[in-house]
Amino acid sequence: MEHTIFGLIKKRGEIAGQHKLAMKAADTLKADLDAIDRALVLCGYEDDPKGIAPRGKYKQLFGRNELKLTIINALRVAPVDDETIAAQIIAAKGWDADTHADVLKRVRDALQRAQKDGHVVQDFGPDGCFWRLSV
């Protein structure tokens, strides 16, 4: 039982140290936000700076034009839906299934851009929506 207590004491000390560092980092970020808010007001920004939505860091999954070319290559084989394209990409890259939603969103966005550019067209058939290369 003593080993358990000493192990828990050690672990608590480690976590308390990590928490202290995280709080210090959070305080620094808060000070930076306050400084930027003051600068916005000085520059004439009239809305509430706290209303600006926080942004996360963009996670780059594909190289330049990689997604577009992958989609076009998939559509050269046969017309397919966006779910199938996303599943093919995940399988080819060897990614976990938890990336499916993110990859699917990016595939859909890329298909919309390709449709606007005239590279692909959307077909609605009895089996649902399929994408194919434009002729």
| Residue 86, domain CATH | 1.10.10
- One domain for residues 83 and 128: yes
Which residues on adjacent β-strands are paired with residue 130? 123
Cβ neighbors of 84 (< 8 A, separation 6 or more) are: 74
Predicted pLDDT at 135:
74
Name the residue range of residue 106's domain: 66-133
- One domain for residues 85 and 39: no
- pLDDT tens-digit series, residues 15-73: 999 999 999 999 999 999 999 999 999 999 999 998 898 888 778 888 899 999 999 99
Find, among 117, 88, 87, the residue nearest to 101 by Cα: 87
pLDDT range class, residue 98, cuts 50, 70, 90 = confident
pTM of the model: 0.57
